[in-house]
Amino acid sequence: MRVLVTGGSGFVASHCPEGRSLVESFAGIPDKRLSFVIVEDIAVPGAFDDAVDQEPPLDAVLHTASPFRFDIADLKKDLIDPAIMGTEGLLRSVMLKGKSVRRVVITSSFAAMSRDGNHPEVYNESHWSGLTMDQALSGHPFTAYKASKQFAEEAAWAFMKSERSHFELTTLTPPVVFGPILHTPDASIQSIRPVRVCSHLSAENAKVVWSRRLSSYGLTYGT
């Protein structure tokens, strides 16, 4: 099976391929089994065309590329728009250039469905955070991040409904992702700090820390 993983320099994507995401970590793997495509701006139309148009052809796509940083000046331009346009663009590239692809998996987030202070007893695929664009742009950058995940996933399902796609779509909504950082991120990026904390927590410590934190939001930590 040949799989495209977008956002390979990110935290989640670096754990998706067998091995490591960094070129030097794949030194022993033949070129015919691994290739890299640089996507300068995921919001540009056709940005993923070259990555999708591969030989041998792709069987599946894991889309994890999405902005996750809070040290930005323009929430819409630098956080929300790339999330939405990158997702729509990836799906369109697969539809036009990836005729062999049978499934696309998008890493969304529990942030896309979490209703702060108004949690249902059990969350399911019908729940959304309910954030509006005005709320996203007037609050804390984390609110804009939550909205970006919601808007991007909504855009993905809208695409699947409106287009005659030859592939199936699956979205994953993890609340928290624990594990080691496989690359060395820029220490100046504010959003990487909570990731650094998560990467050093043991499973037992993670349960203690996040049980306390989630309880303040009316949620329960489960494994």
What's the domain count of the chain? 1
Q: What pLDDT, on the 0 to 100 scale, is given for residue 18?
A: 46
pLDDT per residue of the chain (223 residues) written in tens, 0 to 9: 888 888 765 555 455 554 444 444 455 555 566 677 878 888 899 999 999 998 889 999 999 877 777 777 899 998 899 999 999 999 999 999 999 999 999 988 888 888 777 777 788 888 888 899 999 998 788 889 889 999 999 999 999 999 989 999 999 988 776 666 555 555 444 444 444 445 445 555 555 555 555 555 454 555 5
Q: What pLDDT, on the 0 to 100 scale, is given for residue 142?
A: 84
Q: What pLDDT, on the 0 to 100 scale, is given for residue 218?
A: 52
Domain of residue 90: give its range: 3-180
Can you give the CATH number for the domain in which 56 is found? 3.40.50.720
- Residue 151 falls inside a structural domain: yes
45 burial (CB, 10 Å; 0-12 / 13-18 / 19+) is: exposed
Q: What pLDDT, on the 0 to 100 scale, is given for residue 182?
A: 54
- Residue 28 falls inside a structural domain: yes
- Residue 222 falls inside a structural domain: no
- Residue 207 falls inside a structural domain: no
Question: Which residue out of 97, 99, 149, 207 is catalytically annotated?
Answer: 149
Q: What DSSP string runs through the chain?
A: --EEEE-TTSTTGGGSSSS-SSGGGGTTS-GGG------S-TTSTTTTHHHHS-SSPPSEEEE------S--S-HIIIIIHHHHHHHHHHHHHHHHH-TT--EEEEE--GGGT--TT---SS--TT------HHHHHHS-HHHHHHHHHHHHHHHHHHHHHHS--SSEEEEE--S---S---S---TT-TTHHHHHHHHT--HHHHHHHHHHHHHTTT-----
Q: What pLDDT, on the 0 to 100 scale, is given for residue 125?
A: 86
- Residue 211 falls inside a structural domain: no
- Residue 163 falls inside a structural domain: yes
- Residue 191 falls inside a structural domain: no
- Residue 65 falls inside a structural domain: yes
Q: What pLDDT, on the 0 to 100 scale, is given for residue 82?
A: 92
Query: How many angstroms separate the CA atoms of 49 and 26, rounded?
Result: 24
Is 146 in the active site?
A: no
Q: What pLDDT, on the 0 to 100 scale, is given for residue 10?
A: 53
